[in-house]
Amino acid sequence: MYLELDTALTDTHENIRSLVRAYAKDVARPAARKLDRIPADEVPPHPVFRDALRRGYEIGLHSILIPETFGGLGLDATGIHIALEELGFGSSALAVSFGVAQFPAFGCTLLASENQKLTDHFVLPFAADRTAELIGCWGITEPDHGTDWIMGNDLPPAQKVSAGLTARRDGDDWILDGQKSAWVSNGPIATHCYLFVGLDKSLGMRGSGVALVDLRSPGVSRGKPWDKHGQRALPQGEIFFDQVRIPGPNMVVSDPETYAFAIDATLALANSAMGAIFTGVARAAYEEAVRYAGERIQGGVPIRQHQAIQLRLSQMWQRVEVARAISRRVMAYNYSTITPSLSHAVSAKVYCTEAAYQNAHEAIQLFGGMGLGRESDIEMLFRDARCALVEDGVNDSLSLGVGARLAAVG
């Protein structure tokens, strides 16, 4: 348990913390542990996974980014951060699943809220869903394009790179051809996609667009769920598009100027969310270490009485507090301005994921041999945190992207 330093929290903030904390403790963590042990292709249909999603949908966790006017929870930036941190505390895998599930609906409210037909299809039914029948995903990374797409769209190298998945006009419609990579979170289970596509190769990545796609359309197929190191409760997998036809209005971004706004807003949201989620993971590792340090006896006393352990716990606690301060501040800023700071969002993602990984590592050192056993939560937290160092962009490359921006300004 942590001491909340924000003295301006409202009853709404406290209520969302209590609601999500209970879900994280009673549903998310136990479900993640069970799903961590089974083959990747058995996760999407597994009753434990489906029940965890359904119970989250029942309390609105799939709509924390959706404005209240569209049927979502309508949380402010602080409320969103609190909810995501608590979800991350329970399971970063399920936290990411709930986060990206909202991308098509959130993207519609951000880029096409005036189009009632799109709102009626992509937003309102999703926000009203309480059984997890409608699930979104974010299709951006490709087999040949990852961090080079995520960072550097306003830098010269972007002219040399273009999307592999393309869209071309056909009358009033668009035709989609290509694929997204195995790292599409919710890819194996999603019904809708917030899809980044190539429109004009001569402009490089600047010639990209954004489409809202119903994945139940003819021509859409999936690869098998990716069997990965950690976050195993998060289904990820390829999505293929073979002559998939979508109505013209579904291409919600089709010009370079709007695309520049859309990519920065999307990446700022995603990286801010990652910062919040992995603040929760850093806290989970710290709390596991505190608990075990009170139980483990060495030298006739609990190990928390030894100064070496006290120093380690102090350093872990500091990382949690700094991670929360950075990620919450960045989220508050990016939700209060039309032009978000992608550099700050990326830096929050990098710091918080590395804090989570370092805390999980330190906790295993404190646990000793017990930290290596599959029956301990800390072993799973360590693998989950390790994935985050490459998830949503490799941390080294993301940091280089920020550095390039800083150098360009200087």
pLDDT digits (tens, 9 = 90+) for 263-278: 999 999 999 999 999 9
pLDDT in tens, 87-96: 999 999 999 9
pLDDT at position 346, please? 95
pLDDT at position 231, please? 98
What distance in Å separates the CA atoms of residue 377 and residue 360, rounded to the nearest whole number?
10
Q: Is the pLDDT of residue 241 over 80?
A: yes
Ranges 18-27, 117-126, 153-162: which has the least confidence? 153-162
DSSP class of residue 66? S
Under 8 Å between Cβ of 189 and 44 = yes
pLDDT at position 404, please? 82
pLDDT at position 205, please? 84
pLDDT at position 153, please? 54
- Mean pLDDT within 29-34: 98
Q: Is the pLDDT of residue 405 over 90?
A: no
CA–CA distances in Å: residue 186 to residues 1, 98, 166, 236, 354: 31, 9, 21, 5, 24
Share of the chain above pLDDT 90, in %: 85
Q: Is the pLDDT of residue 158 over 60?
A: no
- Which residues, other chains included, contact 70 with Cβ-Cβ below 8 Å and sequence gap of 6+? 105, 109, 113, 119, 123, 124, 127
Ranges 41-45, 51-55, 138-142, 404-408: which has the least confidence? 404-408
pLDDT at position 21, please? 98
pLDDT band for position 325 (50/70/90)? very high
pLDDT at position 150, please? 65
pLDDT at position 259, please? 93
Domain 11-128 sits in CATH at: 1.10.540.10
Tokens for 277, please give them: 């989620």
pLDDT at position 154, please? 53
- Mean pLDDT within 181-204: 95
pLDDT band for position 206 (50/70/90)? confident
Ranges 39-48, 144-153, 325-334, 378-387: which has the least confidence? 144-153
Q: How many other CB atoms are found less than 10 A from the CB of residue 403?
A: 11
- Domain layout of the chain by residue ranges: 11-128, 136-258, 267-409
Domain 267-409 sits in CATH at: 1.20.140.10
Q: Is the pLDDT of residue 252 over 80?
A: yes
pLDDT at position 159, please? 60
pLDDT in tens, 371-389: 998 888 999 999 999 999 9
Mean pLDDT taken over the chain: 94
pLDDT in tens, 100-156: 999 999 999 999 999 999 999 999 999 999 999 999 999 999 998 777 766 555 544
CA 247, chain centre distance (Å): 28
Domain 136-258 has CATH 3.90.1200.10: no
Quick one: CA dihedral 42, 52, 71, 326, positive or negative?
negative
